[in-house]
Amino acid sequence: MSTSLGFRTLGAAVLISAFGLSGAAVAGPPADWSEVPEKTISLFYPGQSSYNWLLSKEHKKGNRKVPKGAACLDCHEDDEQDMGDAIIEGDHPLEPNPAEGINGFIEVAVQAAQDGENLYLRFKWETQSDGPVRVAVMLDDGKVPNFAAQGCWLTCHDGMNSNPEAVSEDKVKAHPLFGDGGMKKKDIRKYLAASRTDEESSWDKTKSADEIAKIKASGGFLDLMYWRFKDGKPQTKDGYVLEYRNGDAKSSIGDAGKSTGELKDGVYTVVIQRKLDTGHPEDDKILKVGSVYSVGFAIHDGKVKDRFHYTSFPFALGIGVDADISAVSVK
Ligand code: HEC
């Protein structure tokens, strides 16, 4: 960082933009993360707890309240570790083939900061692997019903790749929207109920492409960003979830080099960044200082893929304001 963060004034910012330089030249992550408040959350192994399962009788009591929009944390405060352990240990209806030798949960210290240009999120956890890790952030601005209460589970359905009743490639290829005549997909990925026509949000009961485009244009999608760190180097993927887990037309978290991942003494420390205003409201959520958003996190810790990840319940993220997790202002 070439400019001292302490001296960034409004005048300097205006001057710099007048010269046509990117504001990123002066913006930057906190010089000292130890001054930024830390929130420790437990990400747990969810097995096959798809939204369909949450609505089934097996999800005792939850099955009646979840469709009414009840928050997971209303009933599951401090449950994460027990649930993750119960599901991973085997002999659990939510996990037919438990991965061996991995824990049911990971405790992650989360910190957040913003400098008027970028959002910085820092994750720190004891890793179980020296392999690559992947951190995913799902983010909403209140446009997706129930995301603030129920988080990532809203996107997780039977029929998806590595979930119950995973749909065969042949069936996907024959589907008018997803198949060879449309999006040319081979499997089913995350999606939102708003993109489907039936009460069960079945994978194949899709709304028309026009209707889905209208939902997207009104912001009814989730921003989904990934950072994968291999040998400390980040690779990013910028997408959104609506009728499918789509990639963005143009990645706006593409300057991956600015995110960092470090493995030291068994602890992974990852700092990811993205612009508050990416300039692409069509497939990104535009973040404003002073506003609160909802986020859910997922971490693939080591050589695992698909559903073998750790997931969080949703949290409120305040940009420069108080919330469950507050992105404190640094300048
Ligand atoms: C009205 C209360 C209620 C709500 C709301 C609720 N649950 Fe549950 N959930 C339960 C009960 C009761 C059980 C069964 C007892 C247990 O294992 O904790 C359960 C079990 C589970 C289990 C299995 C845990 C295990 O150890 O077998 C998972 C996973 C789960 N819930 C996830 C969720 C998620 C995700 C949400 C939010 C989308 C949610 N629940 C919302 C009441 C609720």
Does 122 lie in the same domain as 19? no
Q: What's the average model confidence in pLDDT over 18-24?
A: 34
**What are 207-220's pLDDT values in tens digits?**
999 999 999 999 99
Does 61 lie in the same domain as 6? no
**Residue 74: CB within 6 Å of ligand 1?**
yes
Cα gap 203→170, rounded to integer Å = 14
Bridge partners, residue 114, by sequence = 119, 329
pTM of the prediction? 0.91
Which has the closest alpha carbon to 269: 123, 159, 162, 91? 123
Does 217 lie in the same domain as 154? yes
Q: What share of the chain in percent tops pLDDT 70?
A: 91
Does 94 lie in the same domain as 16? no
What confidence score (pLDDT) does residue 131 get? 80
Does 2 lie in the same domain as 102? no
Cα gap 78→221, rounded to integer Å = 29
Does 184 lie in the same domain as 287? yes
**What are 291-300's pLDDT values in tens digits?**
999 999 999 9
Question: Residue 40 contacts by C-beta under 8 Å, 6 or more apart in sequence?
Answer: 107, 108, 109, 110
Q: How far is CA 146 from CA 142, 167, 219, 222, in A?
A: 8, 26, 14, 12
Interval between CA 156 and ligand 1 midpoint (Å): 15
Does 241 lie in the same domain as 229? yes
Does 17 lie in the same domain as 166? no
Does 193 lie in the same domain as 154? yes
Does 15 lie in the same domain as 88? no
Q: What's the average model confidence in pLDDT over 149-172?
A: 95
Question: Pocket of ligand 1, candidates 59, 153, 312: which has the most ligand atoms within 8 Å of its Cβ, to mutate?
Answer: 59
Does 47 lie in the same domain as 191? yes
What's the pLDDT band for 255 if we cut at 50, 70, 90?
low
DSSP for residue 269: E
CATH code assigned at 303: 2.60.40.1190
**Residue 150: CB within 6 Å of ligand 1?**
yes
Does 8 lie in the same domain as 130? no
Q: What's the average model confidence in pLDDT over 128-139?
A: 91
Number of structural domains found in the chain? 2
170: its two tokens: 């042949």
The H-or-E segment that residue 226 falls in is strand 222-230
Q: Distance of alpha carbon 223 from its chain centroid, rounded? A: 7
| 295 phi, psi to nearest 5 deg | -135, 150
Show the domain range for 6.
1-29
**Residue 49: CB within 6 Å of ligand 1?**
yes
